[in-house]
Each structure stands twice: as structure tokens, then as C-alpha cells.
Amino acid sequence: MRPILALGFIFCLGRCALPAQMPAPPAVHPPSHSTAAIETLQRALGRDPAHPRAWANLGNAQAARGQFAAAEASYRQALALAPGLAAARLNLALACLKNGEYAAAATEFQRYRQQFAPNDFRATLLQASCELNLKHYPRALALARRLLPAARRNPLLDYILAVASYGAGHIAAGNRWLRRLDRQSTGTGGAPGHAASPQVRRLLADAEGRLALQLLHAGHTTQALSRFQQAEALDPGSYDTNFYLGFLYRQRGGWSKAETYLRRALALRPRAASPRLQLGLLELTTGHPRQALPLLRYAARRQPLNVSLHAQLAQLYFRLRRPRQAAREQARLRRLLAQPSRPASTSTTAAKAQP
């Protein structure tokens, strides 16, 4: 499922706010002021680069402009000159997180906590989210559990606890945390996610989807379908949810629903191969080989090591009386099968969403 990005980052002199509603981050300065600050600081540092606070302020201004890679470099320069700048260490962690560098962000949050604030709630929470994105589920669980005595209502914490529990194979515990997250969004009772903020609904949907994946990989397709349906009701715009619903309905013979969900997934990611692959197989199943051909050919270009897909294409070309193309696909298939260390292929029946 998607990485955790709705974390409410606020770059402001080293302070990071994480409200329960997780709003979009405000800028440190108006964009025009940030641009002027960047230019002024760059000129000053060009004349004398040995000023750590100037580097840190440059990082703040760059972060306000959304230039997180540049901000990361500036914060690192500040810390190389003055390792004791707590604000620069925290903002470096945030910049790494915003860049999607989860391992680096987790390391910097850990350093910030060890050096400056061992019990900082928000830094620990964000470090746990990084560990979750890295699929370090036991580590994410350990960090999140430390926060329980200080947390009353924090949807992100409950989400981390639920998803990390599912990832670690603790389904019952994950369900308990998911119910707590749901109660926070509904009050008491009510439909899942009823009256929840959009951010909390997405957290609920993602947690439901991750549980559904666990159930699907364990072979519990009926339960997985139910969970994906709940996830779709909470967040209809999820690529993963729409893809897996389409896959499951195709496997169960619900061809009309399968096509609907797969085309939704394709609309969300127009270049994705997996929805086209499943739509191509659906066209074959329903007796439309010519409509299936362009879909499967596109998928084969994006998934060149997929042995089953090349076998399907070879059979399809024979069926369409195109022996030259069939022979070409058979040759590709033989080359793939002859590779001694060939990576595992993506089966055409495997429930695997790809970018």
C-alpha cells in the first residue's frame, strides 16, 4: 500500500507539529520571502561558509520552498560544523522523510532523540512511521508502544500499531488497534469511518488494505475481498484497493465488477502494467482475444521477465493465426527458462500490484 506521507510536516525553527487531523504543512515564510532569503543566505555563505546557523536557516528557507533535497544538504552542512544544533538535526530528519528516504530519516530521528530529546513524542512517532515504511515491523511496534502512556487520541499512532501488528503476523492485535482507530473516527458505534476527517479515512482504508493483503497471501480470499471492500468505501481513490478488487472479482467470475475496478486502477495509474495484464486475461476469459492482445503486449513490455505472460502471448498469437509472432514469443520464453539465475517471474495469476 502507499507510504505514510500525511504526517503534517511543519518546518519552523526546529519545531515539528503533528496535530490529530494532520493538515497540510504551512510554509515557514511566504514563498517570495523564502526565495529572497535563499538568495541572501547563499551569497553570504559564498563569502564565508563557516556559519552553521546560516546553513540551518538556508535549509529552513529551502524547505519552505519545497526544495527538500537542497534543504537536506544544507542541514547536513550545518551539522558538520556544529553537531549540537538540535533544530537542524530534527529538520534534517524531516527533510529526509519528505524526500522518501525512510532509512536516513529513521537514523536522523534516532540521533535527535538520543542526543537531545529521548522522550520526544512526535520524533518517536515519525521514526516509527519510517520503520513501518521500511517494513521493520517489530521495530515500529516497539517505538509505537513506548508512546501509549502519553497518547490519548492519535490516529497515526493507532494506524502504526495496527499495520505493524499485521505486518508482524499479529492479526488479532492489529484488529484491536484498527477498532480503536475506527472508534476515534466514529465516536462510539456507527459505520467504519463515518464522519472521519479525510486524513483519518485514508489511514483507516490503508490499514484495512494491509490486513486484506495479509489475508490474501494466506489464501483467505473471501475475507480479503470483504476487507478490500471496506477499504474502498473509505478511500475510493486507492490504486492498490481498486486493483486487488478487480483481481479478486476476476478470479471469482465477477467479470463486470472486475472490469470496473481494473479500469479505475488504470485511470489512477495510466502507465501501470498490472491492470492491463488482468484486463487482458479478462478479455481472454470472456472470448475477446483481439481486445486482449494490446493489453498483454503492453504488460509484456513492462514485465519482460514474466514467463507466464510470454507463454500466454505465444498461445494468443497461435490462436490469432500469427505464427511469426508466436515463434518470437516462444523464443523469448525459451531464453528466459534457460537462464540459470533468472529472477522469479510474476505469474499472470499472482495477486501483485506493480507501479
Predicted pLDDT at 96: 95
Q: Look at residue 190 and tell me if it is in a domain.
A: no
In a domain, 10, yes or no: yes
DSSP 8-class letter at 61: H
Say how many residues make up the chain: 355
For all residues of the chain together, what is the average pLDDT?
Answer: 84
pLDDT of residue 5: 42
Give the pLDDT confidence score for residue 179 in this predicted structure.
86
> Looking at residue 196, what is its pLDDT?
58
How many domains in the chain?
1
pLDDT at 327 over 90: yes
Count of other CB atoms within 10 angstroms of residue 311: 18
Contact assessment for residue 216 and residue 351, using Cβ atoms and an 8 Å cutoff: yes
Residue 135 CB coordination number (10 Å): 12
Mean pLDDT computed over 160-177: 90
More confident residue, 180 or 19: 180
C-alpha cell at 208: 484495512
pLDDT above 90: residue 107: yes
Whether residue 249 is predicted with pLDDT greater than 60 in this model: the reply is yes
Is residue 51 in some structural domain? yes
Work out the pLDDT band at 20, boundaries 50, 70, 90.
very low
Task: Express each pLDDT in 23-37 by its tens digit.
Answer: 333 333 344 467 888
Residue 266 lies in a domain: no
- Mean local confidence (pLDDT), 115-144: 94
Give the pLDDT score at 350.
44
With b for 16 or more beta-carbon neighbours within 10 A and e for fewer, the 75-90 pattern comes to: bbbbbebeeebebbbb
Q: How confident is the model at residue 186, as a pLDDT?
A: 57
The backbone region for 87, taken as left when phi is positive above 0, alpha when psi lies in -120 to 50, beta otherwise, is: alpha
User: Domain containing 38 — which CATH number?
Assistant: 1.25.40.10
Give domain status of residue 352, yes or no: no
Query: Among positive and negative, which fits the CA dihedral 229, 234, 235, 238?
Result: negative
| pLDDT > 70 in the chain, percent | 83
Residue 249 lies in a domain: no
- Is residue 84 in some structural domain? yes
Residue 197 identity: S
Q: Give the end-to-end CA distance of the chain in Å, rounded to a whole number.
A: 11
**What residues make up the domain containing 94?**
1-116
- For residue 98, which of 12, 11, 15, 39 has the smallest C-alpha distance? 11
Band the pLDDT of 17: cuts 50, 70, 90: very low
Structural domain contains residue 126: no
> Among 25, 35, 85, which residue's Cα sits nearest to residue 55?
85
pLDDT, position 342: 53
